[in-house]
Amino acid sequence: MSTQAAIEVTDLVKRYGDRDVVDGLSFEVRHGETFALLGPNGAGKSTTIEILEGFRTATSGSARVLGHDPAHGDAGWRGRIGVVSQSSADIERYSAREVLRHFASLYRQPRDVDETIERCGIAPFATQRVGRLSGGQKRRVDVALGIIGNPEVLFLDEPTTGFDPNARREFWGLIQELKGEGMTMVLTTHYLDEAEHLSDRAGIIAAGKLVEIGDITTIGGPASRTPRVRWQDADGRWREQQTDAPAQLVAALAGRLGPEPAGLTITRPSLEDVYLEIIGQHPVAGPAHPAEATAAALAPALLGGTK
């Protein structure tokens, strides 16, 4: 196997008008790794992913996916890439089985259609027209289409939007299986428990810039993961303290307040807590589309605000 990373991004920029919506990104994704790109709405995640998929061209900088520039990826390269994008494929008139059969025929080493249908939880509605399926059911078909070509690298842009909790858990299981097969995956999601569950590493983007990158369990640094102890004091007031020695603090509290201090909890900050803290330190991007500017201007009026 090549020692080269599966994906290499260096100083990547995408400019719309006078705004760099992707503003000098650099990161790597190793072979077999699941990498999450996290960030608020409009941060530049989809734009970055679509450049890596070869669907948009970068303004400057470089991207390499399996050693190729995606902007010039040939059919052989494309066959090694799988895509689950935010917008569903235009397949409304056909059944999931028909569409999957068709797409499978376009690849050299596709997955088995029936097995894919089973694994993606499509079997109960595989013969219905995609246009009649619910949002979550359609999303499962999108996922199946993303993997039918048996790709080496799979891009998943908010793959579980619209899934019910059960479908999301099933999807997580599928991703773990694909990971076990050695597939490299790049994932965007606003569900941070999903990112925590599925990813090895994550990059956090704010206003087009990478503001943090690291292992999913340690991103943000040790200080941001310090446990929090919460309890109710003798006067009934809630108290909270962050400490690296929660057991010692609890022992001290027990000495002062009795063996079972009221309301006692010890929590370790989740990825969501860490993410919110990091994002809180970075300004949100302004609107790039004229329509966004209009919507932003109208919002206070629509919401009954005065500003």
Of 118 and 292, the one with the shorter C-beta distance to ligand ATP is 292
User: Among 25-33, 43-51, 229-237, 296-304, which window interacts with ligand ATP (CB under 6 A)?
Assistant: 43-51
Structure tokens at 58: 């970068």
Of 50 and 196, the one with the shorter C-beta distance to ligand ATP is 50
Phi, then psi, of 22 in degrees rounded to 5: -120, 120
User: Among 39-47, 142-150, 228-236, 275-283, which window interacts with ligand ATP (CB under 6 A)?
Assistant: 39-47
Residue 133: other Cβ atoms inside 10 A: 19
State yes or no: residue 87 binds ligand ATP (CB under 6 A): no
User: Among 44-52, 91-99, 124-132, 146-154, which window interacts with ligand ATP (CB under 6 A)?
Assistant: 44-52
Of 41 and 281, the one with the shorter C-beta distance to ligand ATP is 41
State yes or no: residue 41 binds ligand ATP (CB under 6 A): yes
Helix (H, G, I), strand (E, B) or coil at 11: strand
Candidate residues 9, 20, 36, 39; the one interacting with ligand ATP per rule CB under 6 A: 39
Of 110 and 203, the one with the shorter C-beta distance to ligand ATP is 203
Pair 208, 43: CB distance under 8 Å: yes
| Sites for ligand ATP among residues 16-35 (CB under 6 A) | 16, 21
Of 143 and 148, the one with the shorter C-beta distance to ligand ATP is 143
Q: Where are the beta strands (DSSP E) in the chain?
A: 7-16, 19-29, 34-38, 60-65, 81-84, 153-157, 184-188, 201-206, 209-215, 228-232, 238-242, 265-267
The CA–CA distances, whole Å, from 70 to 26, 78, 87 equal 16, 9, 20
86-118 burial, b for 16+ CB within 10 Å, e for fewer? eebbebeeebbbbbbbebbeebeebbebeebbe
Helix (H, G, I), strand (E, B) or coil at 261: coil
State yes or no: residue 45 binds ligand ATP (CB under 6 A): yes
Q: How far is the CB of 131 from ligand ATP (least distance, A)?
A: 24
Residue numbers at the binding site for ligand ATP (CB under 6 A): 16, 21, 39, 41-47, 285, 288-289, 292
